Structure 1
Amino acid sequence: DLLDKFNNLYDSLLQEMQKPVDEAVQDAMKRVFNELNGKLCQGVLEDKFIKTFKEIKDKIETCNDLAVLQSIILEVNTLKLRFLNEINSEEEILINNQKTEINDTSIVEPTEQENSVSLAPIKKIKTISFKELNKSSWQIETEADVKKYIDVLEKQLINSLEENTIINIEF
């Protein structure tokens, strides 16, 4: 009887703990597929992303361990960042390939304006998590504390900048 009570309580706890994990997966999927929608690389990456998210959903459904269930949220956030960066990298490659094909098939000498446009560097997009920038917690009591943490954050953001790169920060 006690074993049955324990199993019932544990199952209900697992189901309750699944809800925020399911929400994290849905949020990550929505973010990734919104970014992928309409991109040149959509056909290349979409099936892979669908398969990976399905595997994670299956993992959640079959999970019997609370600790593993909680670790899935971290896994999903890491996966989301990886997929966003993969979308940006693949899109950059496809755009560069298109430009190369256009330049190779063009038999007409480009005008000076077209030359300046084609030589303009394409900016890479890099997605990082706010946790990567800020590895500690903040304790704020005064305006000076706010300014101190904002200054630290500003320095970290400046250090993260790279030439011809746009940084997206996921919160």
Structure 2
Amino acid sequence: MSTAPGPHDRGRERDRDEEGRARNQRPRDGLGRPLPYGTDGVARQPEGVVRTPDESVSEAQALLDAGRPFHAHEVFEDAWKTGPDEERGLWKGLAQLAVGLTHSARGNVTGGARLLLRGAGAVSEWSATTGRPRPYGIGVAELAAWASALSTRVTEDTTTPLDAAAEAPRLREDSRR
């Protein structure tokens, strides 16, 4: 039996939260990629925050505008986990759109395009099923069109890096840059 340290044993304890659950506390960049310990990273979104739908949309829009779609995804994930069950499809679809933009900006063209289309389908299906075309002022049809167009662009041009802030969608008409 080998006593050599394994790939995850670096002589330090695992990162854990107050309840003892494993939590990776490595610093991250603006697109959520892990950075080496000791590196200055971007502040992480707190998990499990209960916000009103309007607060969720406003905070996510600010993060998208700042080129931080991974962090916007975290806000949408909180909304889907803490909001009413009948809205889960909306918030999950919005999270998928943000992750699709994240992957596209990281250079994962195939995964990004798939998630953009999956998210667009999810929010469109939720909207059609509920009869709510603009929940909380969110332009579902406009978001689906944005995701479809971006998905096509990133798969056709795999050489030009994607600027997440420049490509951020407008969630609501009143969202200003």
When the two structures are superposed, what TM-score results if normalisation uses the length of structure 1?
0.27
When the two structures are superposed, what TM-score results if normalisation uses the length of structure 2?
0.27
Structure (1 or 2) with the greater helix fraction: 1
Which protein shows a greater Rg?
1
Taking CA–CA contacts closer than 8 Å with sequence separation of 6 or more, which of the two structures ends up with the larger relative contact order?
1
